[in-house]
Chain A
Amino acid sequence: MVRTARRLATAVLVIWLVHLLTFLLIRLVPGDPAQQLAGERATAEEVALIRTALGLDDPLPVQYGRSLGALVRGDLGQSIFNGLPVVRMLADAAPATLSVALVALLFASLFGVGAGVVAGLRQGGWADRAVSTVATVGIALPSFWIGMVLVTFFALVNPWFPATGYAPLSEGGATWLRHLVLPGTTLGLAVAAEIARHTRGGVIDVLAKPYIRTARARGATGVRLVRGHVLRNAAIPVVTVLGLQTGKLLGGTVIVEAVFGISGLGSLAVNSALERDYPVLQGFVIFAAVVVVTANLLVDVAYGRINPKVNARVRSS
């Protein structure tokens, strides 16, 4: 109970720090939303009036207090440009991004873990070499290039999948998934490569442990040995990587959304940064921080489930 409370307190602290740093950083960057709003032909007086109307000429502590107070109430403010509540804009954009990220994560987990296990079990063999080579290439290739190649072959030359866009689940599960296959694969490829390398390393490490020899001596082979003794023990580094990749997936959507013409959180973040739409940009960063912090909490919980010794160690300490 105390541990959970401590974890939650740490999470809140992290989110507050992110909020504070974002608030300060976006105001340090040159550029002014009032200037953007006013257009190139506005006079200095007109710009000043807009700045006052937006509350941007208040002292920074006053602006920050207002922003923090609103955050505590769950209000992320309104877009400077279209007046829409930031929460609504995030809610509109999030399904597309989270769907792409989910498919990418599933793709990465399936192929990454699968390929990593095969490579680990066949260390030094052709399968291992093939997986290692593909993983290195997968990490090295830029995602925009992978995306364009996939679109060319699977949307233009062979019109199997849509080249661009996102279809919400309300249009049907199959339509939703068809729109996600190419962007999800594009985004997930580098993560799959990362996971494959860590899984391979973990499997090789575990196979060299004395308890594997003991298990073998007790007659465990094949599926029983892999599932019961290898996978579980090799999973800790893989789960760690998965947690770390959450942030990367969110960041990666910026490029994937541009390549596939998907209007999600990535493009929302880019546009709000270019337009200096402070509330939207801040709302996005807070949202991303919450997602990453939650992912890390889940990874912590998963450690205990995968290996009960972790919980025991924490309890004894």
Chain B
Amino acid sequence: MRPGPNRCQHPRIHPSRTLHRTWLAPVLGLALASSLASCGSDGSTAAATTFRWGYPSRATTLDPHKAGQFDLIFQMPVYDTLIKNDPESGAFVPGLATEWKLAPDGKTLDLTLRQGVKFQDGATFDAEAVRASLERGKRPEMNAASDLEAIDRIEVVDPSHVRLHLSRPGGHLLSVLTNEGGMIISPKALNDPDLAHKPVGAGPYKVTAYSTREVAYETWDGYWNRPSVTMPRVKMITMSDDSTRLRALESHQLDAAYLRPAQTPRLKSAGLNVLIKPRTLVYTVLLNTSRPGLKDGEVRKALSQAIDRDGIDKNLAKDGCQPTVQPFIEAYSPHVPGLEARPDAAYDPARAKESLAKAGYTDAKPLSFTITAPNITQYQVLAEALQAQFGKAGVKTELQVVDAAQVNPMMRSGKFDALVIPIDVGRPDPTTFVADHYLKNGPINPGKFHLPGLDELVDRARRESSPEGQQGPMRELFQKVFEAGPPVIPICAPDNVVGVQPGVTGISIPQMGTFAFHGVRIGKKG
């Protein structure tokens, strides 16, 4: 026996061999990691023939008639639409329909269809296929039903002509037909239960893989406009986290990605190209005009004047959210020139306070209501800023944050006072935004806001088949609503920001509709 009581008190072992074994695994691990790290690059070698796009939302479904808010971009490569938007001007240009004509009363829309077009499963594209697809889209259980509800009857005139009989003036249908509503599904696939992940259209790409992470596409050689397709393969990769998309772009794992305005400086410092453009998405406060106080137009105008839009743009959005007091910014035809310059459109909390006092709301008896925001950081922060700004005009507000999934039911049921939400005022078309929010029976007009003459103005706009034709009545309408106190108070239009690898060309932020990637080219630097 060895003497050693001290060892038992203070166990000191000389474990030279033990330690060697203990450390062996980590050391081997590090060596393995080093060798893995030297295995090669991140796979960007495949980039020349595959365009990799990073996007925050995933494709919930590839069935255009069941599409959610952010699915359009995933469906567009597969499905050609009857009418398209020119990416630069937003003007209507031929798609699967080569010509269209809206009757003077706006109640009949004649479409001339492109001939010689096939679907990806070999079926023929003709008037019968258009009728079958539109009728499926109109079924009440389909998401597209509300967009297509103006269509009363679909008449097949001959194989290359379709006539849509409408229940009311339907100039807005032209825009609808550039979106999901105008995507024509192959008649052979209409009843396929797998359509949600095995789409069959007449577009430039076929889906080769669909998962919750990515949708992969490959060129379809039977496409009617095959020469316009320069990119053989496209991968749309879902990365919900903004920073993750940026890091993926910086490390050349993506060729382009949809990002946030606040990420612009980092994109530029990383040597990446940046595309920036505000579009028709607008951050707004939706007011419930059935609530005490908020039913008064002067109160709503005062609230609009109490909002420091420039401050929000500079401090919250880092100059990435174009301030606006009207739904459409200057680049779009319904924009009312000069409206922003009016004294009653300027930020003026003192004047707002005066207006509120005239309406009977003073410091002793303040206007008070609840501002609700979805549980998404940017809207919560916006709601906090509004609370502070309304406070300067003497308005007392409480904040309520709800799960984003609750927002739609809340809007419909009217269980809110003021809701901070983004609204795409141009989708599917400007008159739809108006009909939803400003007309008495609009589905998102819980307070039944109404102004005499608005229905007529919408009808006038819908008798026109071009944005230029719609411009007059739309401007008149927005001016009227502004003067009456808008139930939807616009705040600012956030920039769309796209980071692009040097050498990647053919990608742009479209004026209307969604991104298209078939014309992308990846040069040497990509």
Task: Identify the A interface with B (CB < 8 A).
Answer: 29-32, 35-46, 49-50, 53, 81-84, 89, 92-93, 107, 110-111, 113-114, 117-118, 121, 123, 148, 151, 154-156, 159-167, 174-175, 177-178, 181, 207-208, 212-213, 216-217, 219, 221-223, 225-227, 258-263, 267-268, 270-271, 274-276
Contacts and interface: CB of A to CB of B under 8 A. Distances in A.
A114 B22 contact: yes
A49 B141 contact: yes
A303 B315 CA distance: 58
Interface in B67-97: 68-69
Contacts of B54: 261
In this complex, the member of B19, B41, B42, B444 whose beta carbon has the largest number of chain A beta carbons within 10 angstroms is: B42
Given A40-B412, A81-B66, A160-B38, 16 more contacts: A31-B405, A35-B409, A41-B444, A43-B146, A53-B141, A81-B68, A82-B61, A82-B196, A148-B243, A156-B251, A159-B41, A159-B42, A164-B253, A181-B33, A181-B37, A223-B15
Contacts of A41: 146-147, 432, 436, 443-444
27 contacts: A30-B403, A30-B406, A36-B408, A40-B69, A40-B412, A41-B436, A42-B443, A82-B62, A82-B196, A83-B196, A114-B23, A118-B22, A123-B11, A155-B247, A162-B251, A164-B244, A164-B251, A177-B32, A213-B8, A216-B8, A221-B13, A222-B15, A222-B16, A223-B15, A259-B243, A261-B239, A263-B58
B25 A110 contact: yes
Contacts of A258: 240-241, 244
Contact of B212 (A36, A107, A263): A263
A37 B196 CA distance: 13
B245 interface: yes
Nearest to B423: A40
A276 B404 CA distance: 11
Interface in B251-272: 251, 253
Contacts of A113: 22
The 3 closest A-B pairs by CB, nearest first: A263-B213, A160-B37, A31-B405
B364 interface: no
Interface string B12-43: 01111111011101100100110011110111
B212 A267 contact: yes
A42 B143 contact: yes
Nearest to A160: B37
B146 A110 contact: no
Nearest to A92: B211
A40 B70 CA distance: 13
Contacts of B351: none
B298 interface: no
B193 interface: yes
B341 interface: no
Contacts of A219: 2
In this complex, the member of B11, B409, B436 whose beta carbon has the largest number of chain A beta carbons within 10 angstroms is: B11
A221 to B, nearest CB: 7
A178 B248 CA distance: 15
B194 interface: yes
A93 B247 CA distance: 22
A271 B248 contact: no
B168 interface: no
Given A39-B146, A164-B253, A181-B33, A207 B11 contact: yes
B60 interface: yes
B247 A164 contact: yes
A263 to B, nearest CB: 3
A294 to B, nearest CB: 24
A32 B409 contact: yes
A40 B411 contact: yes
In this complex, the member of B7, B22, B432 whose beta carbon has the largest number of chain A beta carbons within 10 angstroms is: B22
B11 A111 contact: no
B211 A39 contact: no
